[in-house]
Structure 1
Amino acid sequence: MASPVSSIPNLGPAADRDYARAGITSAEELRALGADTAYLAALKAGCQPHFIGFYALVMGLQGRPWHDCSAEEKAALRPRFDALKAQARRDAGMEAILDAIGTGDRRG
């Protein structure tokens, strides 16, 4: 039986909802994808970016409380977070272009 996403430390019911929007419905799926891929999927599904949420996920996947993230770790995670936000924006822009010419996935 699959465990809910919220069974990962630092993640709660909102994470269950947000990752489900991205098609990630279990802690096992999220762990298999890893923090960056799962977070990018959530952003692409329309979830709002939040740095604390990202590093809470990273810490949770390590079995650590979110507040255990040191200043040095946060500094190292920030460029990853910023890159994920930028990638989600680029992908959304490309999807809009593809939709406009009738070849995108989200033709509604």
Structure 2
Amino acid sequence: MPSAVSTIPNLGPASEAAFARAGIESAEEIREMGADAAYLRLLQAGTSPHFIGYYVLVMGLQGRPWTDCQGAEKAALRVRFDALKAQVKHKGRSEIEAALDALGVVERRR
């Protein structure tokens, strides 16, 4: 029987719902895909990009508390996060909306 997404450390019901909207129903699917592919699916499904959400997932898949993410490791994860965001098209948005979304200021239209 598949494990709930919320069995991954640091993830709860909100993450579980977001992954379900992206078509990912189990912790096993996320582990098999890896953090980057799973987070990209969230973005493609319309979830607004948030750096903390990304590194919480990365830390959880490693069995670590999200507060472990610091220093050079956090900086490297930020580079990966920015690369994932760049892969998602922002159709029908003005340049200023896309810039504000990139900063995490506005939510993506659905």
TM-score by length of 2: 0.80
TM-score by length of 1: 0.81
Residue 44 (structure 2) pairs with residue 33 (structure 1)? no
| Equivalent residue runs for 1:89-108 within 5 Å | 89=89, 93=91
Task: Tell me what 1:23 maps to.
Answer: 23
For the aligned residue pairs, the C-alpha RMSD in angstroms reads 0.9
Task: Tell me what 2:46 maps to.
Answer: 46
Q: CA deviation at 1:72?
A: 1.1
Give every structure 1 segment of 4 or more consecutive aligned residues whose post-TM-superposition deviation is greater than 2 Å.
none
Task: Tell me what 1:10 maps to.
Answer: 10
Superposed CA deviations along residues 33-90 of structure 1, whole A, max 9, x for unmatched, are 000000000000001110001000000000000001121111000111001011012x
Q: Distance in 1 between matches of 2:22 and 2:33?
A: 12
Show structure 1 runs of 5+ residues with no match.
Answer: 94-108
Q: Distance in 2 between matches of 1:40 and 1:18?
A: 12
- Structure 2 SS opposite 1:88: coil
Q: Distance in 2 between matches of 1:71 and 1:11?
A: 22
- The structure that is helix-richer by fraction is 1
Structure 1 letter corresponding to 2:6: S
Q: Distance in 1 between matches of 2:84 and 2:35?
A: 11
Aligned pair count reads 91
Identity across aligned pairs (percent)?
A: 68
- Structure 2 SS opposite 1:11: coil
